[in-house]
Every structure is written in C-alpha cells, then in structure tokens.
Structure 1
Amino acid sequence: MSGKAVDEIERFRRAGVVRSVWLGETKVSVVPDGVVRLRPRALLPDTSDDVWAAHPELLDASGTLAGSLGGLLVENGDRALLIDAGFGPQALEADPTGPRGAIHGGALLDSLAQLGRRPEEIEAVAFSHLHPDHIGWAWLPAQGESRPALAQAEYLVAEPEWAERALLEEQGMAKEVDGLAPRVRTVADGKEIFPGVRVRIAVGHTAGHAEFVITSGGRRLIAFGDALHSPVQVGHPEWSSAFDHDPARAADHRRALVAELEDSDTIGFGIHFADVPFGHVRRTGEGPAWVPLDE
C-alpha cells in the first residue's frame, strides 16, 4: 500500500486539522478545537460487531471513533462567520456507561490564528444546535479572561432550538443557556444570515437542529451539524445516534440528506468526521459512501 493510501485511511481515524475549500469567492475552513473518542456500538445502537469489523478504517487502535470538535469558518471578503464554537477550553474523562469517551477542546483560537483571524473579527456565530460540544467558546472564557473570546459576536440560533431551551436546562445546562442568552438572536428557516449562507431547519438530532447551506460560484456546501456523526451512516441512514432527540425523524432527514449529497456539485461538511470533514457522497456497489474531498 502506498504512503498516500495509508494516509487517506489514517485520516478517518485521527482528529481534524485546518483545511479549506473555496466556493467561488467564499472560503470555508474547518477550525479544529479538539477531539472526542466515541464507542461505536454505544453511539449507533443498531449496529453490530460485524458492522464495525467490516469498517476497520474508521476505528483507532483502541477501537473507538475519533469525533473531531470545532467549527466552520466562512469568509467573504473582510467578513467572517463562524458556524459552531467547539467544546471550549475544557476536558472531561470518559463517561463509563455511555457512548462518549474522553473529550477535550481548547484549540479553536489557535486554529483561527492559523487561518489569519482574530476572535473579534467574527461578526456572528451560528449554531447548528446547543449541545456542549458546539457552544463551548461562546460561553466559556479562556484562561485568564473574564468573558468568552467570541462574546463580541452575535449568536444565531434557530427559532425552534431556542424555544425548546428548557430541555437543555432539564439536562443540567442552565449555566450554558444563561451564558448564551444575552447575545442570542433567533433565526427562521430559510433565513440568509451571511452572504450565500442560509439556515435550514433539520429537526431530529435536537428539537431545532439546523443545517447551513452555503452557495457561491456555482458550488454548494451543506454543513450538516450532527445529522450525521460518522461516515458509516452515509451507507445506512437508518442508524440513528444515541444522542438523537427524535431517532425516527433524524433517520428520515438523513435519508433525504444523503440523497441530496449525491449531487455532484454539492459538498458535505461533517464537523465530527475525524480528519475527513469535507466530502461528497458517491454511489458504490454497496450503496452510497463518503468520499473525502481532495482539497
């Protein structure tokens, strides 16, 4: 096997790095923050050991999935939008009973700097949903600071997601909700929030989960948030995550999303897709599959 082929396989197993794609005059870049290790059978309860034995390329030496954390930076001229805000400057040990292994963030500001951006240049942060691994830098201050690094930005949250924030408070996230509230502006389905960027409500993972459709230069990218957690779901959209609020609706949406991503002019962006966040869905003899974009 060539060195290139080995590296392509390893990308499915490791945390993401900064990568960029141009859509006409719009630049989109993954902004890594950290990684979460996920137990595959617990994450996707409808899978089996045989399923994962058939996909060794997705598992690291410990048998876990590498779920990258971070955001997507969208730049148009001097303007900059951030979609999702990573886990933030914190770390947690593995949950002994659930799908989540060890998780840590902390790299997002360094990743922004690598892309030539300072936090104060981000005009808005748009959230796919309000789970802790997507809002970290929006409510947690960096070490030695008194307020979050992104606090100068407007926080854009889909209307149904914010309307159901009591669900998060019931799950012990009252501090997070309170930290976001002063800067939140709710947005409706179909709203353009930045040049060429529209919100699309995709309920299932959460009560108001949103995707972001970015179009420019005759190309389109769908940042699909947590509609998909792993490339293995592309071939089996019926496999819902243990984190999905409404597994049936989430599966219905994934079926439509996978079909949409088969369009040759459409790129997908999966924030948790290890080091293969940008890709296309291509039909193989075994069905649709995730094919990383060759930037």
Structure 2
Amino acid sequence: MTSTTIDHRLTRPAGIRTIQLGRLTVSYVPDGHVQLPGRSWLPTTTDEFWAEHPEYLDDAGNLIASIGGLLVEYGERAMLIDAGFGPLSTPAEPGNAHGAIQGGALLDNLAALGRTPQEIEAVAVTHLHVDHLGWLWQPTADRLPFAGARIHIAEAEWARPDLAIAEGTGQEILDIMAPQVRTVTDGEGIFPGVHVRIAAGHTVGHTTYVLSSGGQRLIAFGDALHSPVQIGHPELHAAPDHDVAESTEARRRLIAELAGPDTLGFGNHFADVQFGRVQDDAWLPA
C-alpha cells in the first residue's frame, strides 16, 4: 500500500471489512461517522501540531471517525462489540467538542454480512456513550432489534449512570437497556475467545475486549484511542476523557501491547484504517 493510499483512508469513514483470527471471523459493521474537529477533540494540540500532521484532517480540519460495531463469529454463534449511533443524525453545535454525527447503516450492513439481529447472542459495550449504544435502544417497528441479546457492560461503568447522563446518555436509554444488562469484570470470558479487559480513563469503566484464537490476538480498544495520530503521541487526550491521567496511562499501556508479536488492534473510530498494528511508534494498517 502506498503512502498516498494510506493518507486517503485516513480521511474517510470505513466500509465493511473482515479478517480471520484463528477460528474467529471478525468484521467491522459500519453505522456511520462523526466529524471531530482536531483542535477541540484533542484539546492540547496546536495549529503547529496539525501543520506537521495534515494527513489526518479533512479540508475542514476534522478527524473523520467511523462509528459502528464489531461482529465476532465463532461457527454459527455471533456477538457484537458496540452498537453504533442508531438511525439518527445530529448537526454540529457550537460548544460541542464533536461535529456532525450520522448513523443508521448498521442493520443493513449486518445483513450484508449474512446476519440478522436475532442471531446476535450478546452485545459487549465498551462504554456508555451514545455513539456506541444506538441500536440497543432505538426501536425498529415495534421491537428493539437486539432485544434477545445480553448486553455486557463493565460493572464499574454501569454503577455510575450519573457520569453517563452527564455525557449525554439519557436516563431513558439506560432504562431501556437495563433488563438486558449483564455486568462484567476484568478478565471475564463472554464468548469463545473473547475476554474483558478494563481500561478506565475515557470513562470510569471503559472496557477493551481481547480476542484470541490460533495463536493470534486482536484488541478492540474502543475509545482508548480515537485517531492513529495518538499512537505516536499518547499524551494527547480526548476532550471527553473522564480522567486524563488515567486515560493517558491506558493509552501508553495499550500502544506498548499493540507493538507486541501476533497482536492486532481494532480502533472503532480510526477512519478507514481500523485494523492494524503498532510498528515504530506508528499505526500500520492491516
């Protein structure tokens, strides 16, 4: 892949992508994308910083962040990690660190991958922000699409609804999800080859999920990182990070682990370079 191709992928949302990880089939299921103004989303950056890293920004100065879910299949069984933004769109509003958000494509893309919502046995949530919960509370027809699935959420995250509400996740969303929620703790197995790893900082119970099969690993790291530019600059925190020091330490640990052998990463918001590995303090798309 040429550098020109990589640069182009950095400023467009991702489409469907499937990789094989041992006996696990892992697919990104697009729902939409969000515009993240570089200066406000990574608030310690400067104009000079972005002048040195222009390849990550579109012409309007935005990071283009994909939004969707990760489909994990083991034989006939299937689960999702995160559930997109749902059939909604919101414009950019003054005072918000993020720009316009567009969702709505997840169910169609799940169908394109040969799966129905009824076949999804569990949805593992990285954290309680609305761009990861959309299809867990948005009804289609008279039924929630994933009404039959368990919703896995870290115990520490679910125990602090006040923090989720303060970040824009309404109480009504939590109430709709509550009957399906099964809280999880660090190290717990939730599906063949899938284990919970708490990586607090972005939120109080932010969770990554480690997929292991056939001697290979993939870390679905949620919002521990929002852009590949942070790989070489882990000191850059995101505007909504709950605990900046804790999120920075989580990024450093994660980046070191992603540089290890036989380890891939999945960054939900990583534009069109979501699957990759760390090499020489940079993101190498897979």
TM-score under structure 1 length normalisation? 0.94
Match of 2:143 in 1: 147
1:1-295, aligned counterparts within 5 Å? 5-142=3-140, 145-172=141-168, 173-283=170-280, 288-293=281-286
Query: Are the equivalent residues in 2 in contact too, given 1:40–1:99 (CA < 8 A)?
Result: no
Q: What displacement does 1:95 show?
A: 2.1
Q: What displacement does 1:46 show?
A: 1.0
Q: What displacement does 1:197 show?
A: 0.3
Superposed CA offset, 1:83-113 (max 9, x none): 0000000000102122211101000011101
For 1:77, the aligned partner's letter is: G
Instruction: Give the match's secondary structure for 1:100.
Output: coil
**Cα RMSD (Å) of the superposition?**
1.2
Q: What displacement does 1:5 show?
A: 4.5
Q: Give ranges in structure 1 of 5+ residues lacking alignment.
A: none
Structure 1 CA distance, aligned partners of 2:239 and 2:42?
6
For 1:290, the aligned partner's letter is: W
Moved more, 40-49 or 161-170: 161-170
Superposed CA offset, 1:136-171 (max 9, x none): 0001113xx123211111111111010112222345
Structure 1 CA distance, aligned partners of 2:207 and 2:128?
10
Structure 2 CA distance, aligned partners of 1:34 and 1:12?
15
For 2:279, the aligned partner's letter is: R
Structure 2 CA distance, aligned partners of 1:255 and 1:277?
18
Fraction of identical pairs, as percent: 56
Query: Are the equivalent residues in 2 in contact too, given 1:219–1:266 (CA < 8 A)?
Result: yes
Q: What displacement does 1:6 show?
A: 3.1
Instruction: Give the match's secondary structure for 2:201.
Output: coil
* Structure-2 change in CA distance of 1:195 and 1:89 (3 Å): same
For 1:164, the aligned partner's letter is: R
Moved more, 200-209 or 161-170: 161-170
For 1:160, the aligned partner's letter is: A
Superposed CA offset, 1:207-249 (max 9, x none): 1000000000110000000000111111111111001011110
Query: Are the equivalent residues in 1 in contact too, given 2:83–2:135 (CA < 8 A)?
Result: yes
Structure 2 CA distance, aligned partners of 1:110 and 1:7?
27
Structure 2 CA distance, aligned partners of 1:30 and 1:171?
25
Q: What displacement does 1:32 show?
A: 0.5
Query: Are the equivalent residues in 1 in contact too, given 2:129–2:167 (CA < 8 A)?
Result: no
Query: Are the equivalent residues in 1 in contact too, given 2:219–2:263 (CA < 8 A)?
Result: yes
Q: What displacement does 1:9 show?
A: 1.6
Query: Are the equivalent residues in 2 in contact too, given 1:154–1:183 (CA < 8 A)?
Result: yes
Q: What displacement does 1:264 show?
A: 2.7
Q: Give ranges in structure 2 of 5+ residues lacking alignment.
A: none
For 2:138, the aligned partner's letter is: L
Structure 2 CA distance, aligned partners of 1:215 and 1:253?
20
